[in-house]
Amino acid sequence: MYDVKLKDSYFPAQGVLPPPITLGELLRRSAEKFADASALIELTYAGEYGRQWSYRTLFEECRRLAHALASRHQQGARIAVWAPNIPEWIMLEYASAMAGVTLVTVNPSYQARELKFVLEQSRSEAIYYVADFRGNPMKKIADEVCDEIPAIKHRIVLTDHEALFDGADSGVELPAVESHHETQIQYTSGTTGFPKGALLHHQGLVQNAVDTMTRAGVKPGDTFIHHMPLFHTTGCAILAVGGVGLGATMLLAPIFDPEMIVKVIESDRPRLLLGVPTMIVALIDEVKKGGRDVSSIERMMSGGAMVAPELIRKAEDVFGSTIQIIYGQTETSPVITQAWHDDCLEDLTETIGQPLPHVEVSIRDPQTNKVVPCNEQGEICTRGYLVMIGYNDNPDATEAAIDSENWLHTGDLGRMDERGYVKITGRVKEMIIRGGENLFPAEIENAILEHDEIAEVAVVGVPDDKWGEQVACFMRVRENKKPTAAELKAFIRERLSPQKTPAFWIYVEEWPLTGSGKIRKFKLAEAFKERKFDVLSA
């Protein structure tokens, strides 16, 4: 941990920021340093090995593809990638960066209306896609959508290598690419509404990924399973960039399948595991059910949503490794803070760690924008190389997110102690105001998750004529044993004050999730208002 003693909730950047480099330069350096080491291994749906690339061959193939892209796209053009986790996705990521082309990442579960929005909002001139994925007829949808968008000049199936690499030998030179240039447009997960396109630059993605994986303890030659969706920064930045930068071997899984992932852990003995909380829960359940050996896991990371203390304890029991919480958002490339592996249990279970190196973090009063004293609640803000360029074609949203002093306002509420450790207390917009009192969902969620029968929980505010808002608690049980509302009320009253006790208890079989695995709480609130749930009243 960093040894600091703060008076106010401002954490200065630690360390000397290295000279910035581009994604292409990162891969080139790793190809020189780790030439014959295994860089990328494709996993089949059964967890068997498919195609494989060394660092040298991965760089050579990405460079060939970059020349092909340069032969059909001008520098600065935007191209969309609409595909699941396949090696061609990663090759396109590095190749587009080398060609000075901006990659627009698209969730492969999107339907026509969503795809059309992203293609038009991003001003993409091409789409690189697959025929279908998990029952979604992607090529059919894309072709129908693109027929309505004159700006789309190219439609290329990623697995058609003749079309994909066409022009690779044309002799077109690659342009000069700078680290501050935009290289990706990532659309926000949309937990509170319609997504916005965050413009991300090379330096943010490279430095953030390397620093995150370094704090996770990744070393050259390490193996890790990559089952996170590539269209999100966790997948295409933290893992696909950080792993490459540190010379690790990536086992690219086509989907998140707990049974397959646990099987690969037993057979390939990776040291690192990363997943959002819903994934960690599923993996724990699978290990308990199948009894496979997962003792090779020495480091675990999780984020994307609040990681409950009880989940951290259960992960340590099952894997023998604690969880290093990572916290951030798409707009920050994406990680802001991260726990240290040797943090004490209290810090691991009650904070989101200290800021990454080279990153400033402050806690500010949402009304005055002034830094608050240590241990007082305010909005978590960050500044530095990691902050996005802005939102694509949305200056009003950019101005609302990044203030005049270049602080990005996350919309999350939190506290910072004298050591610079941050606690997240909820979302500014998710805060529940009941009878004039501010209630924070994260606090209630963490308390409920201590119940043995509750696997996952989401707490939201719902309208109430008397109180303004009431607390509604949505839950998924572990083994179909559903405690009564009276039992849950008694359980929570032992842990929290009366006003924080949910008025409504709702069991769900599955969650409305964003593409990156976050629970879409606003969807739960909408469904509650429409009376789509069976509600238990305490």
Q: What is the pLDDT of residues 303-343, one digit of tens each?
A: 866 677 888 889 999 999 989 999 999 999 999 999 999 99
* Domains recognised in the chain with CATH numbers: 20-255 (3.40.50.12780), 430-537 (3.30.300.30)
pLDDT of residue 192: 52
pLDDT of residue 153: 97
Residues of the chain with pLDDT under 70: 189-194, 304-306, 436, 538
pLDDT of residue 324: 95
pLDDT of residue 306: 61
pLDDT of residue 538: 60
pLDDT of residue 248: 98
pLDDT of residue 189: 59
pLDDT of residue 303: 85
The total of other beta-carbon atoms located within 10 Å of residue 201's CB is 23
In 3D space, the residue among 298, 307, 309 whose CA is nearest the CA of residue 337 turns out to be 307
In 3D space, the residue among 392, 379, 350, 368 whose CA is nearest the CA of residue 198 turns out to be 392
pLDDT of residue 190: 53
Cα–Cα distance for residue pair 514/509, rounded to 1 Å: 16
Per the CB < 8 A criterion, the answer to whether 469 and 433 are in contact is: yes
Q: How many CA atoms lie within 13 A of 514 on its CB side?
A: 23
Letter string b/e over residues 484-500, b meaning 16 or more CB atoms within 10 A of that residue's CB: ebeebbebbeeebeeeb
- The tokens 């008076």 sit on which residue? 7
- The tokens 């839950």 sit on which residue? 475
Task: Give 182's strand partners.
Answer: 201
Per the CB < 8 A criterion, the answer to whether 267 and 274 are in contact is: no
Q: What pTM, to 2 d.p., does this model score?
A: 0.86
| Cis-peptide into 357, omega within 30 deg | no
Alpha-carbon radius of gyration of the chain: 23
